[in-house]
Structure 1
């Protein structure tokens, strides 16, 4: 049995301390490959024991192979998840006399100094904190990481799909060089559609040299609850949603997911006005406010917590009864993460109630549930052409090592693309523009990098995502959270009221220089607002599934009478915009649209490719492209046939560069090329161009 391969002390505590009669399938199957040093991707539903599947074998290897000092780094995407894991991992490590510590932006300086004096055996951290340790003058990174043997990446799919994944891969390659040995890489994930490709991505430069295995005895797609436990309802407004949530499942603990911070605030306030014990969680609430909410929610019973995706990942919020989804997430993967929050008690089943706030959102929720019903899960793919991350990494290595060789710099990432010699044009630009200085055969940080990124000891270089400016909101000395500055400058009649943490506040004073806003409690009212960067729009698969729902297919879940009625009305109203055999070009007065149902990125590509047929502003969304008002079927056929032979990348407004962090370290041409490649979906666009188009005149 695999449990026999674990260290005897661990096996003893599994039975006598945890009361386990056996290992779960994932934990059982992970023991041998991880003990043998294989890279691995461990897949299981939420609360499927993924953490233990990695930690028990690695703790065993730590003892058997006599690893000492910092030998395992455990990386998470969220600080809250690290804090949540710390007590559990401390318990497991203590069985063997080993230690665990956490290092992230909220950890006090004194604690960090103690970690450096007495490194733990396992360090819980984020990629950004790893970067800060590598470049800090106060950290001897060669001494700290010289004994590193393995890296565990929790919620690996959350990294791989955006630039944090590229940053993480680059940092892992640098840690590999410091340690002087290949690092075993173990990814943990609940929901991915392409596990083999994701594991290959995680292996980085060692993908052809190290054995690798996907461990997935309990695939998420096989753990569907009965259809009756997934329900879709139409409520029409936030107030109606609050009324439904108040009336349903009283005495139970309910977790409600919303797709924006503003919606979290509005629903939280509406629930509290109805006397429901309500807690809120989103990224613009203060750390203390979020912790109070999570702790209270974990201990309470008859209550609701309203959250954005911040509680989608593996943070423990106690024994949950119900998940409620306002509108719909953008991916099946997110839905599965949220669904996995329920059904953890013996005899309980996983459940989720969808509440759509309007007809369009009902359609998209139905489309998502149809995809899920067909067993579809999105593949996780890294964003293409991360030139800005390459530039950031070159500057970071210059800070880390003080200087790097002119001919050897690309070896710092073990020749992993795109950080290899192919990034030479980026290095030349950095040198030409003064971001990097050259002295003979050596490169080092230049004055332009000091000027652009040198504030707070280059702290702005540690994170690869941008954060819009926000004002800190304080009630006395207590920090409530942060708000968009436009709420403090809008013209208002009477007192200026804010909505934050589900409560109303009256602004008493604004410290413009220090970006602080002081408030006092108000009885009611107020607005919430945050600038949110574009989420990239819907995918081709989801958009096509929504089209199929519009054409008459129902998702395999329970629909309320209201949902059935509104869905039927929506099909009657919008049905002419969809056709099962191809696309639709519709004319409604001067509004001419091409209904592609292809997703945002495909439509961006199509709008650029068929530029002569679109309106001057090239307006498009997830499902349609606005066409020129004088379009005829003859103009369409001529323009379509000439343009469809070669796809064009979408055009990018120069103002969009502000959302690409470190774009200053790239030439404008390379920065725009990066954004353009990321906005395109060539495969989906090509598929649409191969389909026939049907012309209809609406209203006749």
Structure 2
């Protein structure tokens, strides 16, 4: 069987003659039946496994078979750049069967949107935020526009499910289901996920258990043995040394370098250019035009390097890559698999990744990550718990969408999906009490507090579920270069104020504080790059324990350079008192007492809160250890931990972290605090750690 038998004959003709395919790939063959039969599905395959076609071909065939008219399919992506990249391909496929595709996101101009509203495409590429904007807009006839909706494809579904954008997407889908008046088929595409069945259960929303559902993953199911890839781990010790290695290795090839921060992208890119390497940069604080120019130039070049944050981790096409290089380590195995999958796409090539670590901690972390990867481990995707702030956002958005809603009827708009059901009544009461929602008898409508807080630019601030830190737009003449942290514009400097942005040096000529604009001109060299990021969750329990295994002597089954071997050996010697194969270690050095749990940031946060009587006054902890009180004795420890497993506490929440929870002001403070505390906790990791034996060690 080729997999082509059930598809539209016209589509098959073009697949065979235009694409030159005589059969479909395993995932594409396996997906035809479930997708054409209307089942909800997760389509799982390695990067470049043909997931887009696995969804598009049977959906286009279903359009023909069932005579769907108007807008019948939504294709949702987490990144606008990914949508831009997919548009030409999907336009081609749809045109083969006389169907049309359109694009709608924040960069699409007003006239293009008006054309879409007046002449609906068959398939619309968009983001959840743009869908929300359409639903709350008075210029969109929601009932007419979405009346023919039949299916939605969620690309990179794991990227949604792992954060609040996933809860937002689910809630929007339930409101679209109400408008369409029928269940909407849901198809998720993913390359890397450790729990696909649970992910499908989540994606189904209110229809879970009532609609057919199937995980389609033939490539994953048949994979046996250790994962494939040419992986090498090196220690270089500095950005300058990393640039030297990159400049010297693989000349004549196209190299994609991943960094874990925008600052590191800028620093490495600048040093590479100084060494004469053709270098392009990509990160979220560069202007759209700057990123697009870099990605297009990189796609067309050969002997070059593009340095990027995770913006190029997902499936944006930058041409045929020869090498992936990772500076330090990504935070998850799933992210590493995405990056590794950018290589090895040409026949006769192998997936590859070179790790260049800049310090000993990153060396151990990279080795621990590769240890997990070698065992076939991939993190399960878990939606963030207790998304009360998203519930508040949805209640306000519904008031905007419907203008007035019934005080008893609003829970039905999400078809009984928790937490948007009757359980949200305390949040609605708070919104009414605080003036975010007004009440007139049995009708609810948007209130003055919501208009004051979220009403700018037609409530655009209400459509995005994450908070971006304030940044200044950097302009050279009329050309936007990108954005920078305001701290770089306020700190005291000697001489001219120099910035590093887009891999180039700029001298600040004027700052428009009111409009948040910074005007610059090219400089000969120097400058700094810095951005204030959101607080990271820290190392997971699984990765922290893998790092402990590395310090105990375990090596990942990859190539280790002589430098990596030497520095790993030295680091193991330096940490000999912090790890033990029989359990955790409490080490005393004078008055300094530390519990080396190797449990990860969130588990250690729970342990620190639970054992507050045993920790130091400032309750300091990190991914690997917790600072304990200086007078701790064994008897105090036994008494203080005897019942700890039965009274685990959520961690304390910093007020600054609370401000980073968008829409927190639309919640009672206690609920906002409880939401964030639940997200900072790993109760299972904390419980496992408490059950581990503990050794007391004194170091002179």
Same fold (TM over 0.5): yes
- Paired position in structure 2 for 1:35: 36
- Paired position in structure 2 for 1:157: 158
Give a deviation string over 1:300-349, Cα, whole Å, max 9, x none. Answer: 00000000000000100100000000000010000000000000000000
Alignment of 1:364-383 (within 5 A): 364-383=365-384
Give a deviation string over 1:440-488, Cα, whole Å, max 9, x none. Answer: 1111111111111111111000000000000000111110000000000
In structure 2, the residue corresponding to 1:577 is in which secondary structure? coil
Alignment of 1:188-207 (within 5 A): 188-207=189-208
- Paired position in structure 2 for 1:485: 486
Give a deviation string over 1:554-574, Cα, whole Å, max 9, x none. Answer: 001000000000000000001
Which has the higher mean CA deviation after the structures are superposed, 649-658 or 68-77? 649-658
- Paired position in structure 2 for 1:386: 387
Q: Distance in 2 between matches of 1:325 and 1:541?
A: 20
TM-aligned CA deviation for residue 21 of structure 1: 2.0
- Paired position in structure 2 for 1:572: 573
Alignment of 1:147-186 (within 5 A): 147-186=148-187
Q: Distance in 1 between matches of 2:96 and 2:134?
A: 28
Q: Confirm whether residue 289 of structure 1 aligns to residue 290 of structure 2.
A: yes
TM-aligned CA deviation for residue 653 of structure 1: 1.9
In structure 2, the residue corresponding to 1:218 is in which secondary structure? helix
Q: Distance in 2 between matches of 1:221 and 1:663?
A: 46
TM-aligned CA deviation for residue 617 of structure 1: 1.3
- Paired position in structure 2 for 1:409: 410
- Paired position in structure 1 for 2:238: 237
- Paired position in structure 1 for 2:134: 133
- Paired position in structure 2 for 1:554: 555
Identify if the C-alpha distance between structure 1 residues 279 and 229 changes in structure 2 by more than 3 Å, giving closer, same or farther: same
Gap regions ≥5 residues in structure 1? none
Q: Distance in 2 between matches of 1:314 and 1:226?
A: 20
Q: Distance in 1 between matches of 2:144 and 2:503?
A: 47
- Paired position in structure 1 for 2:216: 215
Which has the higher mean CA deviation after the structures are superposed, 80-89 or 423-432? 423-432
TM-aligned CA deviation for residue 642 of structure 1: 4.3
TM-aligned CA deviation for residue 643 of structure 1: 3.3
- Paired position in structure 2 for 1:611: 612
Q: Distance in 2 between matches of 1:153 and 1:532?
A: 27
Identify if the C-alpha distance between structure 1 residues 593 and 28 changes in structure 2 by more than 3 Å, giving closer, same or farther: same
Q: Distance in 2 between matches of 1:60 and 1:527?
A: 54
- Paired position in structure 2 for 1:84: 85
Alignment of 1:416-565 (within 5 A): 416-565=417-566
TM-aligned CA deviation for residue 4 of structure 1: 0.8
Q: Confirm whether residue 255 of structure 1 aligns to residue 256 of structure 2.
A: yes
Alignment of 1:348-367 (within 5 A): 348-367=349-368
Q: Distance in 2 between matches of 1:514 and 1:564?
A: 52
Q: Distance in 2 between matches of 1:448 and 1:160?
A: 30
In structure 2, the residue corresponding to 1:584 is in which secondary structure? strand
- Paired position in structure 2 for 1:334: 335
Q: Distance in 2 between matches of 1:632 and 1:551?
A: 27
TM-aligned CA deviation for residue 226 of structure 1: 7.7
Q: Confirm whether residue 65 of structure 1 aligns to residue 66 of structure 2.
A: yes
Q: Distance in 2 between matches of 1:112 and 1:223?
A: 48
Contact 2:535–2:657 (CA under 8 A) maintained in structure 1: no
- Paired position in structure 1 for 2:642: 641
Identify if the C-alpha distance between structure 1 residues 303 and 224 changes in structure 2 by more than 3 Å, giving closer, same or farther: farther
Q: Distance in 2 between matches of 1:63 and 1:31?
A: 14
In structure 2, the residue corresponding to 1:423 is in which secondary structure? helix
Q: Distance in 1 between matches of 2:102 and 2:548?
A: 50
Give a deviation string over 1:90-143, Cα, whole Å, max 9, x none. Answer: 000000111001100000011011110111100000000000000001111111
Q: Distance in 1 between matches of 2:645 and 2:170?
A: 37
Identify if the C-alpha distance between structure 1 residues 272 and 224 changes in structure 2 by more than 3 Å, giving closer, same or farther: farther
- Paired position in structure 2 for 1:51: 52
TM-aligned CA deviation for residue 8 of structure 1: 0.4
- Give the alignment's TM-score, normalised by structure 1: 0.99
Contact 1:221–1:375 (CA under 8 A) maintained in structure 2: no
Q: Distance in 1 between matches of 2:211 and 2:552?
A: 48
Q: Distance in 1 between matches of 2:620 and 2:413?
A: 44
Q: Distance in 1 between matches of 2:22 and 2:544?
A: 46
Identify if the C-alpha distance between structure 1 residues 30 and 367 changes in structure 2 by more than 3 Å, giving closer, same or farther: same
Q: Distance in 1 between matches of 2:607 and 2:240?
A: 39
- Paired position in structure 2 for 1:298: 299
Gap regions ≥5 residues in structure 2? none
Contact 2:226–2:374 (CA under 8 A) maintained in structure 1: no
In structure 2, the residue corresponding to 1:209 is in which secondary structure? coil
Contact 2:588–2:697 (CA under 8 A) maintained in structure 1: yes
Contact 1:228–1:558 (CA under 8 A) maintained in structure 2: no
In structure 2, the residue corresponding to 1:232 is in which secondary structure? strand
Q: Distance in 2 between matches of 1:161 and 1:220?
A: 23
In structure 2, the residue corresponding to 1:185 is in which secondary structure? strand
Contact 1:225–1:349 (CA under 8 A) maintained in structure 2: no
Give a deviation string over 1:601-639, Cα, whole Å, max 9, x none. Answer: 100000000000111111111111111122122222221
- Paired position in structure 2 for 1:397: 398
Q: Distance in 2 between matches of 1:612 and 1:549?
A: 32
Q: Confirm whether residue 659 of structure 1 aligns to residue 657 of structure 2.
A: no
TM-aligned CA deviation for residue 222 of structure 1: 3.3
Alignment of 1:664-675 (within 5 A): 664-675=665-676
Contact 2:234–2:564 (CA under 8 A) maintained in structure 1: yes
Contact 1:190–1:220 (CA under 8 A) maintained in structure 2: no
Aligned length: 699
TM-aligned CA deviation for residue 503 of structure 1: 0.5
Detail structure 1 runs of 4+ shifted over 6 Å in the superposition: 223-228
- Paired position in structure 1 for 2:100: 99
In structure 2, the residue corresponding to 1:347 is in which secondary structure? coil
Contact 2:229–2:351 (CA under 8 A) maintained in structure 1: no
Q: Distance in 1 between matches of 2:21 and 2:454?
A: 51
In structure 1, the residue corresponding to 2:140 is in which secondary structure? coil
In structure 2, the residue corresponding to 1:463 is in which secondary structure? coil
Contact 2:436–2:448 (CA under 8 A) maintained in structure 1: yes
- Paired position in structure 1 for 2:686: 685
Q: Distance in 1 between matches of 2:538 and 2:69?
A: 47
Q: Distance in 2 between matches of 1:77 and 1:227?
A: 28
Contact 2:79–2:127 (CA under 8 A) maintained in structure 1: yes
TM-aligned CA deviation for residue 225 of structure 1: 8.4
TM-aligned CA deviation for residue 640 of structure 1: 1.6
Q: Confirm whether residue 323 of structure 1 aligns to residue 324 of structure 2.
A: yes
